Structures are given as structure tokens and as C-alpha cells.
Amino acid sequence: MASANPFFDDMRSKPEVIDPPQSEDMMDVGENVNDTASNSLKPNVAVSSSVRELLECPVCLNAMYPPIHQCSNGHTLCSGCKPRVHNRCPTCRHELGNIRCLALEKVAASLELPCKYQSFGCMGIYPYYSKLKHESQCIYRPYNCPYAGSECTVIGDIPSLVAHLKDDHKVDMHSGSTFNHRYVKSNPQEVENATWMLTVFSCFGQYFCLHFEAFQLGMAPVYIAFLRFMGDDDEAKNYSYSLEVGGNGRKMIWQGVPRSIRDSHRKVRDSFDGLIIQRNMALFFSGGDRKELKLRVTGRIWKEQ
């Protein structure tokens, strides 16, 4: 049941992934969280809204997991929120103490619920205490928008994200497995608005995101180009790519495996998993008076046999 007290609004956060309780009176949970064949829809598993409300923390509104605390009047609270309310029940303001609601924990252990990504295609039914773990790894969970130029909060499946990138972010779309791009910047000393380019390529029946940007490394900006795969990591490993940049008779070549968009843009960039070009080398490749960045990045994508 949700609290109407705005005092607790700022305490609401995303649920943590919590393993099932390891006690003899709790049900055994299988490890294969995506085995929808063994967890297919079953009859008589509907859970009333009143039971779900009983398992909802009144502060963060997330599902509660052991230890579930209660006050002397029987009001419950999740373990994560207990220290935040300074040991006072958020419902009646009585002292919480260390009373544990074992009855509600056992009720939860008897429940089976559908995955929250049911609308994305997951038809599995999971025990209450393994549902959260399953959802953190569910193959049907939506992807975050891979656009790095803004804090975009859009999520969805791959077709909807491709349409979103094209229509809302105006990203360039290309067909084919080879590319040849030229990046120009009049003041290479600046790294503001660091994400310069995102291009989406369609090949082998899949979509790939090519990133090129500047970011600060120590006292000077560096440039990085890398490829991300619009899909999961196990599929991304079926592909490889190469990048090449050069000028004045010199060139640098990078070969790697595209990272899944499950990994954030920042995580890939900060791991330096791509073609890294130091500023002095980038200006050398640019030629001229070395005051303007003019880089040509070529590359290709291929499927491993």
C-alpha cells in the first residue's frame, strides 16, 4: 500500500537484485532464469492486487524481500528503507524495533508471478523470490536508447529504437558493411558537446552504431571511434569490425568485437575499447596548419564463420 506522505517521495529508488532467502522453509529456486519452457503460463497463479499491495513497501513502493520488518502495530517496511526512516514506522510513527514479519515472508515464498516484461514477449511465471533476479537478466527486457549526445530515457526493442534514432535524434542511417566518414572540427582544443557523431549501419540483418567523439584524458582531449551492436552480447560476439584512420603517409588500424548496447556508451568509451587517437596524432593526420581537425575514418563489419 502506497503512502501519500510526500516526505518519503525522495526515498523511492529502483529495486536491488536480491537473491532468494537461504532458509529451509523457503522454496528452492532454479538457476535458469530464462527457461520459459519450464516456467510457462500455468493455471490458478493469478495473484490478487490486495496481496501484491501487502508486499509493497510504503516508502519506496518496491516489492519487499527478506528481512521484512514490521512495527508493533503490524505495519511493514522493507529492510532498505528501515534505516532511512530513523527507526520510525512511516505509517503510524511508532518505533520499529527489530520485529520481523515471517508470516508475510512465507506468503511471498508461495507466490508465482509473471515477468514484468510480459508485454515485450516474456511468457514465464516465476516464484516471487526469483522473479527480480530473472528480470535483471530477462532476454526480453528492453534496451536503453544508444544515443550518447543527451540523457535520453527512451527504452524499447530494437525495431522501435531504430525508428526512434532516425525520427527523434535524426541519426544517419546507412545500409552496408563498409563505411567511409570524414570528421571536421574547427577548434580541436574544445571537448564541449563531445559526442560528435552517431551513425547506424544495417547489415547481416542486424543494426550497428558507430560512435566518434572527443573526450578529456588527462590535460588534453583524445578522439575515439568504436562500434556497438544493437542486441545482446552473445550475438555481438558473432561479428568483428575494423577501423582505420591516417594521413601524410601514416595510418592507424583497430580491429575488435562490437560491444552490445547493453553496455552503456560511457562504459565502452571509458574502457578505451576502440580506436584511440591522441590529439597531436589527429592533427598530424589532418595536415595543413594543424589548427583544424579533419579526420577520415574508414572501416568494415564482417560476420565470423
Assigned C-alpha cell, 104: 508475510
Alpha-carbon gap, residue 111 to 296, rounded angstroms? 58
**233: three-class secondary structure by DSSP:** helix
Residues 180 and 280 in one domain: yes
Alpha-carbon span 195 to 186, nearest angstrom: 15
For CA atoms 241, 245, 249, 250, the dihedral sign is: negative
pLDDT, tens only, 5-63: 444 444 444 444 444 444 433 333 334 444 443 444 443 344 556 777 888 899 999 88
H or E element, residue 182: strand 178-185
CATH code, 104: 3.30.40.10
Highest-confidence segment of 125-129, 205-209, 216-220: 205-209
- Predicted model pTM: 0.69
CA torsion through residues 266, 229, 149, 280, sign: positive
The number of domains in the chain is: 2
- Asked if residue 283 and residue 236 are part of one domain, the reply reads yes
**CA 299, 301, 304, 305: dihedral to nearest 10 degrees?**
-100
Least confident of 10-19, 96-105, 220-229: 10-19
- Among residues 87, 106, 137, which one ends one of the domains? 137
Nearest C-alpha neighbor of 81 from the set 63, 104, 103: 63
Task: Look at residues 137, 172, 207 and tell me which one is the last residue of a structural domain.
Answer: 137
